[in-house]
Amino acid sequence: MSYEKDMMEKNQRGEVIPDKLDIPLLKYLWDASPLSFGSSKENYHEFFKKISVLNSFSDNELRLFSKFLHRREFITSEVIFRQGDSGYGFYFVFQGSVNIYANHLNPNKDDLGELIIRLDQRQYFGEMGLLEEFNRRSASVVAAENTVVLGIFKPDLEKMLEFYPVLGAKFLRETALIMANRMGHLTREVMSLKRKIKELEQRV
Amino acid sequence: MHRNLKLKLFLFFFLLFATISFAFLFPRLTLPFGFAYIIYLIAQPLKVLLTNGSGQQRIFFFMLLILGVVFSMFPLFAAFYNIDTDFSKFSAQLPELQKNLQDKFFIFKVHVFEKIGYRINIDPVSFVVRKLEKQGALLLAQIPTYLSSFFEWMLLVPMFLYFFFFQSKKFSQKFLRSIPNSIFEKTYVLTSQFNTKFGEYIIAKFIEATFLGTIVTIGLLAIGFPYPFVLGFIAGITNILPYIGPLIGVLPALLVALLSQDPHVSILGMVLIFAFANLIDMVLVFPLLVSKVVDLNPIIVVVSVIVGGQVGGIVGMIVIIPFIAFFKLLFQEIYKDLSVQL
């Protein structure tokens, strides 16, 4: 929760608002100020606040997290990565949308295969590339329109863990949760497929 | 591929080629730039200590750094003073050393004549001295050039250091933006790996050289060997060169021991100290610090050092190793990609 919201709620509840600001808050305000040194015009803070998996991040953590991201712009139909490429990064769709394709028959051919899903703003993809040591992309991602994505890569995660270990650990936990959710979904899919195969076998 | 994307890719590689050509064409700028980068890399662990942890921890490390700088100034000044004194003493004793060497060669000539009846008519000592005097005169004539490049470095190195500490982040962000999307992931990961490897290698070599130099200096001081600070300093610096560095480092000490007429000077003691220092380096420092960074075959390392020396002199000999380690990584990546495509 942001400091402003916290203060407003305290005020509404009739609680006493502290008349002194503590140092970490002052530091946050100083760092977050657009006039302060080193501030970036690109403030992704508001964008990340709306992403559910990053709910546990505080305002200051989101501000620090956004410093590790790379903004990449893609034109319509431009390939973000191909199935079988080495994967090193995790992407958030900042503007626009992307299509995910998988070619199950000839995974290393130029043919992108069939469309699996379309991801819109605030959705994410490629988290396996960040965690696996030797990752191969399991699908191709193509910009469906002019798209801006924010990517975080292995060296950024290493830097984050070195300079901001708490933030790094929190981000890893969230990425692990995303993976766990995907694994859960995958397990349910496999179970349902097995059930269907059994039903088909019984019918035959 | 879209026409604009192709153009972007071409422009990126053109700019990269132009930058590399510029670096090779203007070594007077490239060398101080590289030197400033090495200082920046050596200072990186301090950056981690000063930016990590809570506010109190950071204040504690900052105070510790200030105390460390203040207290290290005294022995540092003392060491520099001693190195300077050693060099002056060595220069003052050069004529005596020359006479001593000529005497020893004369004894050798007499010995050869008595044993096999052959008269040696050559005078290599005078030849070497004449050569050295000629080189010395050339060196004296080049002093204004060295001084001007020294002043150039005095101006350029702090300027580049300022760039690395305060501007490099913004610059690298702009550079990364200019990388075309199709090669971004791989280029970013590989350049990051190269930076990490290069930084770790430079820090490891710096620690290794300091460690070895200190052991040799203390050891030579303990046995009363002449010029301990100069010889320790040379041993530390030459140790930066892998495999052949320790051999080069022991040569000046061996020369001093051979030419000295002081009966207290022990060649065996000196050799044992150098052997002990290198043993500590091989058993303790190298495996802990350097080998983790540079996972290369020893033969490749030796060949690389020779090639680096031929291409870029002493600097080439030092920086070739992280470059080779990087190329190994690069080839591994290419091989992985090819093996998937096949």
State whether A84 and B341 contact (CB < 8 Å): yes
Q: Higher model confidence: residue A50 or residue A93?
A: A93
Radius of gyration of chain B (CA): 25
Helix (H) or strand (E) holding B258: helix B245-259
Q: What is the pTM of this model?
A: 0.68
Residue B39 makes CB contacts below 8 A (sequence gap 6+) with B157, B161
In the prediction, which pLDDT does A198 show?
A: 93
Neighbours of B277 (CB within 10 A): 28
CB-CB neighbors (< 8 A) of B193 in chain A = 155
Asked if B298 and B220 count as a contact pair (C-beta separation under 8 A), the reply is no
pLDDT of residue B230: 83
- Place A38 in a pLDDT band, splitting at 50, 70 and 90: very low
CATH topology of domain A69-203: Jelly Rolls (2.60.120)
- Among partner residues B176, B181, B196, which is closest to A78 by beta-carbon distance? B181
* Cβ pair B188:A79 closer than 8 A: no
Chain A residue with CA closest to B334: the answer is: A86
Q: Is B174 on the interface with A (CB under 8 A)?
A: no
Is A94 in contact with A145 (CB distance < 8 Å)?
no
A91-147 per-position pLDDT tens digit: 999 999 999 998 877 666 667 788 888 999 989 998 888 888 778 888 899 999 999
Only one residue has tokens 């028959």, namely: A105
Quote the minimal CA–CA distance from A187 to chain B in Å.
Answer: 27
Tokens of B42: 């050596």
Tell whether A30 lies on the interface with B, counting CB pairs under 8 A: no
Nearest to B185 among A75, A89, A163 (CB): A89
Distance CA B205, CA B233 (A): 14
**Average pLDDT of span A51-77:** 87
Check CB contact of A162 with chain B, cutoff 8 Å.
Answer: yes
Question: Cα angle vertex B119, ends B114, B122, to 5°?
Answer: 135
> Is B54 in CB contact (< 8 Å) with chain A?
no
Question: Does any CB of chain A come closer than 8 Å to the CB of residue B181?
Answer: yes
Using the Cβ of B109 and the Cβ atoms of chain A, whether some distance falls under 8 Å is answered with no
CB contact under 8 A, B5 and A72: no
DSSP 8-state assignment for residue A79: E
DSSP letter assigned to residue B54: -
Q: Is B50 exposed, middle or buried (0-12, 13-18, 19+ CB in 10 A)?
A: middle
- pLDDT on residue A39: 45
Q: Which amino acid is at B228?
A: P
- Below-70 pLDDT ranges, chain B: 1, 48-55, 61, 65, 68-84, 86-87, 90-91, 136-137, 139-143, 146-147, 261, 291-293, 339-342
Tell which B residues from 194 to 233 touch A, by Cβ distance under 8 Å.
Answer: 196
- A155:B188 CB<8 A: yes
pLDDT tens-digit profile of B57-109? 777 767 776 776 666 566 566 666 666 676 677 667 777 777 777 787 888 88
8 A C-beta contact, residue A161 and residue A93: no
Residues of B in contact with A86 (CB under 8 A): 185-186, 333, 336-337
Mean pLDDT of chain A: 82
Residues of chain B found within 8 Å of residue A75, distances taken between Cβ atoms: 2, 4-5
Please compute Rg for chain A using Cα positions.
21
| pLDDT at residue B319, rounded to an integer | 75
What is the C-alpha separation between A14 and A6, in angstroms, rounded?
A: 12
Q: Does A169 touch chain B (CB under 8 A)?
A: no
Predicted local confidence at residue A192, as pLDDT: 92
pLDDT at A28 (0 to 100) = 61
Residue of B44, B185, B190 to mutate when probing chain A, most A C-beta within 10 A: B185
Q: Do the chains contact at B186 and A89, CB–CB below 8 Å?
A: no
Beta-carbon separation of A72 and B181 below 8 A? yes
Which residues, at least 6 apart from B341, have a Cβ–Cβ distance to it below 8 Å? Answer: A84, A108
Q: Confirm if B232 and B216 have CB atoms less than 8 A apart.
A: yes
CB contact under 8 A, A88 and B337: no
**B55, B182, B188 ranked by CB distance to A153: nearest:** B188
Identity of the residue numbered B245: G
The pLDDT value recorded for residue A40 is 46
Task: Give the Cα separation of A90 and A157 in Å (integer).
Answer: 10
